[in-house]
Structure 1
Amino acid sequence: MILQENQAFKHQFKVDDHIYNGFISVFDDRNSLHTDEEFAKNKGFQSKVMHGNILNGFLSYFVGELLPTEDVMILSQNINFKNPVYLDDVLNFEAILTDQSEAVQVNTFSFKFINASLKTVASGKIQIKEF
């Protein structure tokens, strides 16, 4: 893969009904925080909170579709949730290649998801291996 350290990748994601309902359909996670508007509001949120693992799906898209090769796999990822994500939020994703190991062909990216209010909703690191 022809990547340069500090190379940046950007993409925009929208957490719409299709993604929200698809997640529930596939994983059957119907926790009240994610499915009950009143429950979420009573806990201090604006609305029902989207499942955090939807963002992990967006990370999979980044590796599988946005990188300039298909010859990669995820070795590890860590994600820190900082602010809630709500239905119809548009998230700006930014990833920067922070470390490369040519000897073992491992690349480490730092990433963040930023909402329309310019708040970071999640950040972390993801390591990929070229094969």
Structure 2
Amino acid sequence: MNDLALGSIPIEKIEPGMTVRYSQTISDADIKAFAGISGDHNPVHVDSEYAERSRFGKRIAHGLMSAGFFSALFGTKLPGPGCVYVSQTLVFKRPVYIDDTVTAAVTVTKVDKEKGRVFFDTTCTVRGKAVITGNAEIFIPKSKS
């Protein structure tokens, strides 16, 4: 499929199969910052001793932090600035640990030009394995020109 690195793509040029990706390595500082911003101080994310006794064996990143990478792709690359989330489904398949590199990808599945809606498959992977899957619907407002 097409792997784009563009921004502000008009709906008339968006086609099924178009894909963009973003990768980030998760750090301890990222997890602490996300806990501070979200208010989610679940000890499985922020307390090493607690997390060692959990089913995960060590601290894990907040799932919504990785899912947030989809928003970054939509708002900056495809479709780009000005678009608005309508909906997002998320299935959390595996944990993400400190020092894991998460790659988020969004792929266009359908375009409704009349309603200004674009539909996507969304996936986050770590070392080639899906950690989050889902679907999104994005609205592209008509320009005021």
Q: TM-score, normalised by structure 2?
A: 0.82
Q: CA offsets per residue over residues 59-84 of structure 1, 9 Å max, x none?
A: 22111112253121010111110000
Q: CA offsets per residue over residues 18-59 of structure 1, 9 Å max, x none?
A: 321211121222111112223223222131111111023212
| Mapping for residues 39-50 of structure 1, pairs under 5 Å | 39-50=50-61
Q: 1:101 aligns with which of 109, 112, 116?
A: 112
**Per residue, is there more strand in 1 or in 2?**
1
Where structure 1 has 5 or more consecutive residues not aligned to the other structure, the ranges are none
Q: Hey, what does 1:119 align to over in structure 2?
A: 129
Paired amino acid for 2:18: Q
Paired with 2:39 and 2:82, the residues of 1 have a C-alpha distance of 31
Paired with 1:91 and 1:78, the residues of 2 have a C-alpha distance of 18
Paired amino acid for 1:21: K
| Mapping for residues 1-131 of structure 1, pairs under 5 Å | 1=10, 2-116=13-127, 118-131=128-141
Classify the secondary structure of the residue corresponding to 2:58: coil
Q: Which moved more, 1:88-97 or 1:106-115?
A: 88-97
Paired with 1:50 and 1:9, the residues of 2 have a C-alpha distance of 23
Where structure 2 has 5 or more consecutive residues not aligned to the other structure, the ranges are 1-9
Cα drift, residue 128 of structure 1:
0.3
Paired amino acid for 1:77: Q
- CA RMSD after TM alignment: 1.5
Count residues in correspondence: 130
Paired with 2:42 and 2:56, the residues of 1 have a C-alpha distance of 15
